[in-house]
């Protein structure tokens, strides 16, 4: 393992011990050899005497360790049902209350990137950040024409920090895959590779601006979700300016309740937005922790979501999208045989899996939670059973679906906070069925065919020329069929090597026979019989070798 990776692992365990999180170090086998060295350090003793709660100590250690660890804490914070309240409350602060970087540096970054002094760009620029998160921080501002905006500024040195921790993740994934059969099933190296693409993309604010524009176009005129406008003239790779939205952060439940918000409708709208993004648009916001979701309550009976932070979005391959939709619908219909068959067809489990056994296992996990509201479902128990099922049937993680699974967990966690009586299945089912009808309906089929007409016409135009060329080549004996197959090529090479060996054997036998005959011609006549006998044997062996 590289020295740089080992040094970072020591930094991680030192931060955990410094904040009094010894249990985490003890649970991490990799750190056990170094634990006692850290515990003997005087600064560790003083740090452990602080009166901070365990939740605060955990939050502080994640903040110290950097953006990847902060994002891990953000993801955990959405699942209050799986965490003790004190830890959940502290991790929630990671959503938008990470310590900011120096405002003077933020101003210098904006001026350098946009090529103008701050006063020429904005009528007002608030130096105190509106919010600060793991990758960037946001300042409120007003444009010269009076429009309210927010200015998002990338934290300095982010790429180097993230690359360092990605090296650690890649090294740990390689070790896990090498020494653990369970880890190989999870495919850790592929998971880390997928995560690398996601988080590196998040460092480009121009990409985030493009994501926001696409999402705004997808929900144009929608009463469910509002997406702020991007001001492209003021966007660069490390600075982005977009419309400021007003509303309440979704985690401020009591304030929303005081305003008379219809929580049942709000929760149902959230589920509808998610399934619409995934299946109808195939473009979904994949970082939906509470710090990125606002609620506009001008009409409390019809509250509307407003989203920010579009650095992470997800899309699906048509094949995965189809299998997911089919799986959901089969589950809604309690058709567990279909669920099992789809897992085999999609390649998510080995092809030799017995469908009847997988069907029984799926039924055992799903039946107890069907038609129950969120408050009656223990997702901790469900996840444990799913992991057991996955291990039994050698079900492999699909790295391309990880963003979707993470987002679904976020949505379910938000729904549980907003409206625990939400029936997730009843809300999602109509959206999915409508999408499936559209997908296989005559209008959709006609639309796809019409989209393919130009390519088909172009292909037809080239057919006469291709046919004429093929006929000419055939008549002149130049027509060849080239088969690109590595297995066939290896077989051909092996046959050629064996033929060469046999030719050499036959040649050697002939030369040997000739030599013997020549010797016999000049020696005593009694050698002639022996020479002819040996020559016959040599010819026989060579001919048998050639026939093989």
**Beta bridge mates, 148:** 142
Query: Are 277 and 218 contacting, i.e. CB atoms less than 8 angstroms apart?
Result: yes
Q: Of 287, 299, 421, 499, which is the active-site residue?
A: 287
Q: Which two tokens stand for residue 537?
A: 């044997």
Q: Which two tokens stand for residue 262?
A: 């219809």
Q: 127: Cβ–Cβ under 8 A, 6 or more apart, which residues?
A: 103, 106, 107, 139
**Beta bridge mates, 313:** 285
**Beta bridge mates, 294:** 249, 306
Q: How far apart are CA 422 and CA 409, in angstroms?
A: 15
Strand ranges inside 278-414, DSSP E: 284-285, 293-296, 304-307, 313-314
Instruction: Please report where in the chains the tokens 């509002």 appear, as a residue.
Output: 226
CA-based nearest residue to 229, from 43, 220, 419: 220
Q: Which two tokens stand for residue 374?
A: 């969120």
Angle (nearest 5°) at CA 80 between 77 and 85: 100
Q: 528: Cβ–Cβ under 8 A, 6 or more apart, which residues?
A: 520
Q: How far apart are CA 338 and CA 349, in angstroms?
A: 14
For residue 40, give the 3-state DSSP assignment. coil
For residue 173, give the 3-state DSSP assignment. helix
Query: Are 273 and 261 contacting, i.e. CB atoms less than 8 angstroms apart?
Result: no
First to last CA, the chain: 51
Q: How far apart are CA 114 and CA 232, in angstroms?
A: 11
Query: Are 336 and 363 contacting, i.e. CB atoms less than 8 angstroms apart?
Result: yes
Q: Which two tokens stand for residue 466?
A: 């291709």
Helix (H) / strand (E) element for 122: namely: strand 122-125
287 a catalytic residue: yes
Rg (Cα) of the chain, in Å, rounded?
34
Task: Answer positive or negative: Cα dihedral of 400, 401, 402, 406.
Answer: positive
User: How long is the chain?
Assistant: 548
Tell me the CA distances in angstroms from 484 to 473, 480, 488, 496, one per residue in order.
20, 13, 8, 18
Q: How far apart are CA 517 and CA 421, in angstroms?
A: 102
Q: 53: Cβ–Cβ under 8 A, 6 or more apart, which residues?
A: 86, 90
Q: How many CA atoms lie within 13 A of 115 on its CB side?
A: 4
CA-based nearest residue to 260, from 313, 308, 307, 297: 297
Residue 249: CB atoms within 10 Å: 17
Catalytic residues: 287
């Amino acid at each position: 393992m590289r020295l740089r990776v080992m040094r970072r692992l020591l930094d991680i365990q030192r931060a955990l011990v410094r904040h009094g999180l010894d249990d985490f170090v003890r649970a991490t086998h990799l750190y056990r050899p170094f634990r006692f060295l850290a515990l003997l350090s005087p600064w560790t003793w003083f740090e452990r005497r602080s009166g901070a709660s365990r939740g605060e100590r955990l939050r502080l250690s994640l903040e110290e360790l950097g953006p990847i660890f902060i994002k891990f804490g953000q993801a955990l914070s959405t699942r209050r049902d799986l965490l003790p309240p004190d830890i959940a409350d502290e991790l929630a602060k990671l959503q938008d209350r990470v310590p900011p970087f120096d405002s003077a540096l933020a101003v210098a970054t904006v001026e350098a990137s946009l090529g103008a002094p701050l006063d020429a760009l904005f009528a007002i620029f608030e130096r105190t950040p509106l919010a600060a998160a793991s990758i960037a921080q946001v300042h409120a501002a007003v444009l010269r024409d009076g429009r309210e905006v927010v200015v998002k500024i990338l934290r300095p040195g982010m790429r180097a920090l993230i690359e360092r921790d990605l090296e650690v993740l890649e090294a740990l994934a390689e070790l896990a895959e090498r020494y653990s059969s369970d880890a190989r099933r999870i495919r850790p190296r592929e998971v880390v590779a997928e995560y690398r693409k996601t988080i590196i993309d998040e460092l480009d604010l121009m990409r985030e601006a493009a994501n926001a524009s696409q999402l705004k176009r997808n929900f144009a005129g929608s009463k469910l979700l509002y997406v702020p406008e991007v001001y492209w003239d003021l966007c660069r790779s490390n600075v982005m300016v977009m419309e400021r939205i007003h509303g309440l952060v979704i985690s401020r439940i009591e304030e929303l309740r005081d305003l008379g918000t219809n929580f049942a409708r709000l929760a149902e709208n959230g589920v509808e937005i998610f399934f619409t993004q995934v299946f109808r648009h195939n473009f979904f916001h994949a970082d939906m922790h509470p710090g990125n979701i606002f609620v506009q309550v001008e009409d409390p009976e019809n509250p509307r979501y407003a989203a920010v932070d579009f650095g992470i979005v997800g899309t699906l391959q048509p094949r995965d999208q189809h299998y997911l939709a089919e799986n959901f619908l089969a589950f809604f219909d309690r058709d567990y045989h279909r669920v099992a068959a789809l897992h085999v067809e999609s390649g998510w489990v080995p092809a030799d899996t017995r469908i009847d056994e997988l069907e029984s296992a799926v039924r055992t996990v799903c039946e107890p939670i069907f038609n129950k509201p969120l408050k009656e479902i223990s997702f901790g128990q469900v996840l444990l059973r799913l992991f057991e099922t996955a291990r039994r049937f050698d079900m492999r993680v699909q790295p391309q679906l990880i963003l979707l699974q993470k987002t679904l967990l976020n949505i379910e966690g938000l729904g549980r906070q907003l409206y625990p009586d939400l029936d997730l299945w009843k809300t999602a089912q109509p959206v999915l069925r409508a999408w499936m009808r559209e997908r296989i309906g005559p209008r959709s089929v006609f639309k796809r065919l019409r989209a393919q007409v130009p390519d088909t016409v172009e292909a037809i135009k080239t057919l006469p020329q291709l046919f004429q060329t093929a006929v000419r080549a055939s008549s002149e004996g130049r027509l060849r069929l080239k088969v690109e197959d590595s297995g066939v090529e290896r077989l051909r090479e092996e046959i050629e090597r064996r033929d060469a060996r046999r030719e050499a054997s036959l040649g050697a036998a002939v030369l040997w026979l000739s030599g013997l005959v020549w010797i016999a011609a000049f020696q005593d006549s009694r050698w002639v019989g022996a020479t002819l006998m040996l020559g016959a044997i040599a010819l026989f062996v060579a001919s048998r070798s050639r026939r093989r």
